[in-house]
Structure formats: structure tokens, C-alpha cells
Amino acid sequence: MEIEQKVRQTLKKINLDKRQKILVALSGGKDSALTAYLLKKFGYRVEGFHIDLGMGDYSKKCLSAVKKLCEELGTKFYIYDIKKEMGNSMCYIRNDIQTGHGKGLKNCAICGVIKKWIMNREARKLKFGKIATGHNLDDEVQTFLMNILKGSPQLSANSGAIIKNVSDKKFIARIKPLFYIAEDDIRKYVKLKKLPVVFEKCPCLLDSYRKEVRKFTNFLTTKEKENIMKNFDSLSEKIQKLKTEDKLNYCEICGEPSRNKVCKMCQMIKQ
């Protein structure tokens, strides 16, 4: 199977160690489900991690898909209930931020920062060596093009099948085993394997700029998308040199790794 071969190659390229424990961030969707399925199939030590965002029916469906998947794979999993841990659902937390310190921030940007903050802290507490996410070729092509179109290629500096240049005892490296796999191929494969997943999109998905870029990338062939990421890979060292700040500090408020004195999460939620 071509997908399997490509993912094996990606894992080889990033030198993924079979002894290390990997926490797969499972959203309930197809990409992260396939990530867990393949890592498990290839003999890696994987466990699942799901953040229950408390967003009504959609979150309930995601939670139940994650539970079913982990049961089928025979994988241990952890559920982080955002309402219990942070006092409110993602919708309320986000709304507070958008009417407070995060005016103008997009839904997905806020949710992304919060999810990364939670994942890093929990994976570290649970002593995992890596976090795997389901980001695919289409996601990565869109992000890379968006950063170029905004005139900020340096924002792609840490991107890649493994996050680059961050080595710190409090930071758990994130890997993207599906970095070179097109979304269409993932959808077909997940259907073929009948993996329990939610195909519905998040009801709060509201990143208009990404939507515009996606309209364009949807016209591209897989080969063209692969070529864009080949360009990215070969320019990667140069892009990394564009970064102004590469030192990791610890946030003055929460103690989590941060490039600034106060991390993005605490900047958003400060009272």
C-alpha cells in the first residue's frame, strides 16, 4: 500500500525511535485516527489523547469515535475534559478571549494555541517522548502558502514532519507522520479500513483565509502538492535562518515553554 510506504519513509526520515512512547492527539477525525492506526501497525508504542472540547453534539460524537478507535486498536487512551479542567467549554473560553485580550483572533487560532498548551503539558506529565498529530499534506501546503502570501515565510521555520530546532526538557516534540499524505488518499484509506471516525467538520471552523487558500489548493494534483512541500523541505534551512528569536524561555505565569516572557496561552487568558 502506497500510503503505508510513504508513512514508513517519513518515520525513517525523522528517525522515530520504537522504544519511545508516543502520545497520539486524537480529535475523532480521520487524520489522527489513521496516524494512530499506522503507528500501531508499524509496532510503535502508542497511546491516545483526546481533548473533549465540550461543544455539544459534535464533541460527543468525537469522543465516542475516539473511544471506539482505541478499543479496536487495543490502545490505552486519556481524555482531557476541558469543562472540568478549565471550567468551561471551548466556545465560552474562546468567546471570553475574543471579547477580552484576544480581539481579532480567529476561532481556530485560539483553539490551536489552547490545544497545543494542554497537549504539551499532559504529554510531559505522562512521560511521553513524542506527540503525534494528524496534520496532512493539504494542511501543510495551505499553511506554507498562507505564510508566504502573508509575507512571513519565517512562520514556517519550525514546521516539518518533526518540529525543528526545539530541544528543551519541558517541550515534547511533535511529529506529523501524515505530512506527505494527501487528504483524499487519507479519506479513501480510512473508509477502506472502516476506522471509526467523524467526517463532519468542527462547527466553529471559521478561518476564512485558510478557506480561500484551500479553494486554490483543491485544484492542485497530489504531485503538485508534493512538489510544493519538496520546495519547502529544500528551502527549510534558509527559512530557519529568517527567524528572529529561537530561544525557548519558560512562561512567567504558567511555567510552560514559550518564546516570549509570557506564553501565547497566558497572553490570551490573562485577566
Interface positions with Zn ion (CB under 5 A): 251, 253-254, 263, 266
Q: Does 50 bind ligand AMP (CB under 6 A)?
A: yes
Residue 31 contacts which entry, ligand AMP, Zn ion, none (Cβ below 5-8 A, type-dependent): ligand AMP
Closest among 31, 115, 26, 21 to 71, alpha carbons compared: 26
Looking at beta carbons only, is 125 or 247 nearer to ligand AMP?
125
Residues in the chain, total: 271
Residue 263 contacts which entry, ligand AMP, Zn ion, none (Cβ below 5-8 A, type-dependent): Zn ion
Residue 23 contacts which entry, ligand AMP, Zn ion, none (Cβ below 5-8 A, type-dependent): none
Piece in contact with ligand AMP (CB under 6 A), picked from 48-56, 165-173, 185-193, 248-256? 48-56
**Cell 506529565 belongs to residue:** 125
Question: Which x/- pattern over 121-160 shows residues binding ligand AMP (rule: CB under 6 A)?
Answer: ------------xxx-------------------------
Residues linked to residue 77 through DSSP beta bridges, in sequence order:
48
Residue 90 contacts which entry, Zn ion, ligand AMP, none (Cβ below 5-8 A, type-dependent): none
Closest among 261, 268, 267, 258 to 121, alpha carbons compared: 258
Q: Does 120 bind ligand AMP (CB under 6 A)?
A: no
CA–CA separation, 42 and 34 (whole Å) = 12
Cell numbers standing for residue 188: 479513501
Residue 134 contacts which entry, Zn ion, ligand AMP, none (Cβ below 5-8 A, type-dependent): ligand AMP
Looking at beta carbons only, is 33 or 266 nearer to Zn ion?
266
CB proximity list for 157: less than 8 A, separation 6 or greater: 164, 165, 239, 240, 242, 243
CA–CA separation, 154 and 241 (whole Å) = 8
Helix (H) or strand (E) holding 68: helix 56-73
Site residues (vs ligand AMP, CB under 6 A): 25-27, 31-32, 49-51, 53, 112, 115, 133-135
